[in-house]
Amino acid sequence: MTDADRTYMNLMIFKTMASTKGRISVKQIHEAIEPNMGISIRSLQRYLNGLASWGMVIKDGETPQGFILTEHAKQLFKELANGCDA
């Protein structure tokens, strides 16, 4: 998998999470992106753990594991959508 593929995968995860209010499970994300991306649940978990280590998502500690976007991620996407005025 190329860097471009990994970047696209992260963007698809963010897009799916942003369209959901509150928590979203790994299974829900997988069902939304797998038909187009061909990714296993385990690989998706690795992506989400990476995003958590970057501070972009938070694990909710429930079973099954769920995730939510951090305020930092929401602000970043808002800035990207509106353009940076700085």
pLDDT tens readout for residues 31-61: 999 887 789 999 999 999 999 999 999 999 8
- Could you say which DSSP state residue 84 is in? -
3-state secondary structure of 58: strand
Angle at 7 between CA 34 and CA 9, to 5 degrees: 10
pLDDT (tens digit, 9 = 90+) per residue, 8-27?
999 999 999 999 888 999 99
Task: Give me the pLDDT at residue 86, please.
Answer: 52
C-beta separation of 42 from 48 below 8 A: no
User: Sign of the C-alpha dihedral, residues 61, 57, 14, 3?
Assistant: negative
